[in-house]
Structure 1
Amino acid sequence: MESHTKRRRVAGPVGGGDPGPNPVVGFLSWCRQVGLELSPKVTVSRQGTVAGYGMVAREDVQPGELLFAVPRAALLSQHTCSVGSLLEREQGALQSESGWVPLLLALLHELQDPASHWSPYFALWPELGRLEHPMFWPEEERHRLLRGTGVPEAVEKDLANIHKEYCSIVLPFMEAHPDLFSPRVHSLELYHQLVAVVMAYSFQEPLEEDDDEKEPNCPLMVPAADILNHLANHNANLEYCTDCLRMVATQPIPKGHEIFNTYGQMANWQLLHMYGFVEPYPDNTDDTADIQMVTVREAALQRTKVEAERLCLFERWDFLCKLEMVGEEGAFVIGWEEVLTEEELTTTLKVLCMPAEEFREFKDQNGWGDDKREEKSLTITSIPKLTASWRQLLRDSVLLTLQTYTTDLKSEQELLNNKEVYAQLSWREQQALQVRYGQKMILHQLLKLTS
């Protein structure tokens, strides 16, 4: 699930206990007991991996080959844990915005029990006190290193939600069942750590088209699968079958090479926020830069001269909100080769730039419905061909976005090019620099295209 890894693995057991002489041996023995079948062509190892435990090919592997299969009984979830029946009975009281409370309670219960069925699996987890998610960075450091990237805002929302969820649901539940939850797990700090683990290591089974959308898609802990590190250019993929989950090779994997999974298209800021690592520039082909929707509104406001023009602009913005094309906390997402929010950005540029009479007609017809007249396809390659007013508004928005960072592209380029100086940066400084630099490179590409 990572490359300079999705989640930076750290040696040591959960809570700092004694994992035994070799946790891998214990884990592999547990795998055999639960029917988790690993191909003889792969091995779990700390050697030959980008970080911590990973999986390495012992022999050449061809596309389509099965690397391992995890029976559903070996998945750790709210249903398979030892307090599953209680969590099922109390599910109404455990509803939360995240949907993770039942799994987190399952983990809290299993982790406190030295004789837990899952103990050999936990032995390969990172040490909880050394997780590198930005939620564990000091607030000052987080804002200083990651301002403008979107990470501080995401972390602040996480911390507020975690605190609310723990105090209103989790702690009362544990206190109501003192026979099942030791006081030593009544800790907001531990809960923070387990949220980070679930964020980084859990999987969610894709919903089928005919699934009832009201049924929650609960997270699962998938032993063996969560050992794999992440790359955008991954060489393995997890398949969900009726009786098991299968990890299958998608590319040739030479002997001695690491096996990588993916969680999908993840920008570096998302990787750092959710998993505590980034892929160094230019490895992450899925990297993106965000332009806040309100920044485009601000750029458009800069071009107004009188109050009437400002009022007209806000009318257009309100109409875009009604169409659900923009929102106060939304963002337009720009990748290296595509605009991921093409419809939203196209409509916004069109509405904010169209003549007044055309806007009246557009509004009267509620967005013209299926009528595609005057519609422009917004792709990265088509940006230079956009109407001049569209390009200028987009350019002004990019310039405002670049002002939100505390450093400029040139100074960061110099840091990256000076290997000696870069090596002296702390690990967090390096990760944050990679996030900022990748985003700014995408934004500067937009500047060139809109000039």
Structure 2
Amino acid sequence: MASAPKRPKVAAGSSVRGKGSADPISSFLAWCGRAGVELSPKVRLSREGAVAGYGLLAAEELERGEVLFTVPRTALLSQHTSSIGGLLQEAQESLQSQSGWVPLLLALLHEYTASNSWWQPYFSLWQDFSSLDHPMFWPEEERARLLQGTSIPEAVDKDLANIQLEYSSIILPFMESHPDIFDPKVHTLELYKQLVAFVMAYSFQEPLEEEDEDEKGPNPPMMVPVADILNHVANHNANLEYTPQCLQMVSTRPISKGQEIFNTYGQMANWQLLHMYGFAEPYPGNTNDTADVQMVTLRRAALRRAKSEAEQQLVREQWDFLCQLEMVGEEGAFVLGWDEVLTEEELSMTLKVLCMSAEEFQEYKEQDGWEDDSEEEETSTLSNKALSRLKAPCKKLLYDSVLLTLESYRSDLRAEQELLDTKEAFEQLSRREQQALHVRYGQKRILHQLLQLLA
């Protein structure tokens, strides 16, 4: 099933920043030729036939394993390939940040606003970044009203605080030390915020081998022309592959002539897609969707069922013990998928400890949480089948926690089902309301499925 587009794109024929071209795709394709980007004659970039805006379509039948396009590493826009790459390299120590994005963002600030930038035809695909509709651009009241309970408002609040901190503590001092390149009146906080959203929605991070990631951390993001035009669905039909010389988009199954070619950003839940990319997949398209039960919700449910002050104190001690084991935290969440719990170890341990009697808990602490391996194996994989076989106290605690989670939303599943089933009512919703509905509805379906398993 086709998803909503990854993001709104500039329509052909609109005025394009810095170029004035009536056909930005032609300018971009000419730039691709100069940059050494090779497109297969079997594919075409087009507005017609895509879910919205521009997309990559099959001009002929495609077999599995065909190379759709090749992007040489010299055509990637990164902190290293920018015209100010040397300057960024010299200042790398002062540009370190929690996000790790600052060098790329400074490169984009410069290249996007420099009239002589080699990357201008690439940027011509976007008249400006005002079309980006991430929740970070929504009014706070609208985020709260449409996304309460989804985990997005909390993630956006952190993003906005980090953006403000990075800009004031790193970006501004760097710009002030290089007034020949940057002008805070041009390179504003608002433009920086738009570029953060641009990187969220369009950038790629080259995967590392697991041992390298443990040592070095993830690779910095980079912009990959052509690859970033492809839209995403969970049931995608192409994948980006990395080689030392280039990046290649390769078909993962046969694709019919005229069919749109979709990439994947990974196993992303709808709340993550809306938060980072500005769209969500309609139910039941996103097989990677998840719902969160906040860790503190289990503590709240356990405290509610405690019948005495002594039992409440036991719950608090058990929670502190779980915190010491780093199984839970005040801001953490248990992540539930369609078929299993993704945070199975944390949820198994939390249910087990919070359902212990005082005597069992004391003995467990004295053994430092050690128990028989065979018993651990039985509880470590929390598939739907395993959840239905939980001991009665654990089932009840999780059931109550799911009910509390459902109370955090502003509407119930039935009301959302009616909106989705009534075409006229759904079409009257704004785009933001539609995307938020997709997020809420998928999460509630997963939570209600869990209730049925635990009943």
Q: TM-score range by the shorter chain?
A: over 0.9
How far did 1:367 drift? 1.7
Contact 2:207/2:218 (8 A) holds in 1? no
User: Partner residue of 1:412?
Assistant: 416
Say whether 1:325 aligns with 2:327.
Answer: yes
Amino acid at match of 1:257: Q
Give CA deviations for 1:216-268 in whole Å, capped at 9, x if unaligned: 62111001110100000000001111111111100111000001001111111
Give CA deviations for 1:180-221 in whole Å, capped at 9, x if unaligned: 113443311101100000011111111124427236621110
Amino acid at match of 1:322: Q
Contact 1:67/1:249 (8 A) holds in 2? yes
How far did 1:114 drift? 1.7
User: Partner residue of 2:434?
Assistant: 430
Does 1 or 2 have the higher relative contact order (CA < 8 Å, sep 6+)?
A: 1
Give CA deviations for 1:58-100 in whole Å, capped at 9, x if unaligned: 0011111101111111110000000000000000110111000
Question: Within 5 Å, which residues of 2 pair with 1:206-285?
Answer: 206-211=207-212, 213-214=215-216, 217-285=219-287
Cα distance between partner residues in 1 of 2:426 and 2:326: 43
Question: Within 5 Å, which residues of 2 pair with 1:84-95?
Answer: 84-95=85-96
User: Partner residue of 1:387?
Assistant: 391
User: Partner residue of 1:32?
Assistant: 33
Given candidates 334, 337, 348, the residue that maps to 1:335 is: 337
Contact 2:85/2:107 (8 A) holds in 1? yes
CA change 1:18–1:260 in 2 (3 A) is same
How far did 1:370 drift? 6.7
Moved more, 181-190 or 145-154: 181-190
Contact 2:147/2:440 (8 A) holds in 1? yes
Question: Within 5 Å, which residues of 2 pair with 1:370-385?
Answer: 371-373=373-375, 375-376=378-379, 377-385=381-389
CA change 1:448–1:388 in 2 (3 A) is same
Give CA deviations for 1:31-50 in whole Å, capped at 9, x if unaligned: 11111111111111111111
Cα distance between partner residues in 1 of 2:400 and 2:15: 49
Cα distance between partner residues in 2 of 1:10 and 1:132: 13
Cα distance between partner residues in 2 of 1:115 and 1:344: 53
Amino acid at match of 2:420: L
Cα distance between partner residues in 2 of 1:210 and 1:364: 35
Cα distance between partner residues in 2 of 1:370 and 1:386: 18
How far did 1:371 drift? 3.0
Structure 1 portions without partners, runs of 5+:
none
Question: Within 5 Å, which residues of 2 pair with 1:72-83?
Answer: 72-83=73-84
Give the TM-score, by structure 1 length: 0.96
Cα distance between partner residues in 2 of 1:176 and 1:434: 46
CA change 1:417–1:25 in 2 (3 A) is same
Say whether 1:8 aligns with 2:8.
Answer: yes
Contact 1:60/1:253 (8 A) holds in 2? yes
Contact 2:269/2:286 (8 A) holds in 1? yes
How far did 1:154 drift? 0.6
Amino acid at match of 2:421: N
Amino acid at match of 1:420: E
- Give the match's secondary structure for 2:103: helix
How far did 1:19 drift? 4.1
User: Partner residue of 2:346?
Assistant: 344
Cα distance between partner residues in 1 of 2:15 and 2:394: 53
Amino acid at match of 1:355: S
CA change 1:179–1:107 in 2 (3 A) is same
Give the TM-score, by structure 2 length: 0.95
Say whether 1:443 aligns with 2:424.
Answer: no
Contact 2:3/2:285 (8 A) holds in 1? no
- Give the match's secondary structure for 2:360: helix
CA change 1:337–1:74 in 2 (3 A) is same
Structure 2 portions without partners, runs of 5+:
none
User: Partner residue of 1:49?
Assistant: 50
- Give the match's secondary structure for 1:128: coil
Moved more, 158-167 or 43-52: 43-52
User: Partner residue of 1:399?
Assistant: 403
Cα distance between partner residues in 1 of 2:341 and 2:335: 6
Contact 2:148/2:409 (8 A) holds in 1? yes
Q: CA RMSD in A?
A: 1.7
How far did 1:404 drift? 0.5
User: Identity of counterpart residues, as a percentage?
Assistant: 66
User: Partner residue of 1:101?
Assistant: 102
Amino acid at match of 1:260: F
How far did 1:338 drift? 1.6
Contact 1:75/1:221 (8 A) holds in 2? yes
User: Partner residue of 1:196?
Assistant: 197
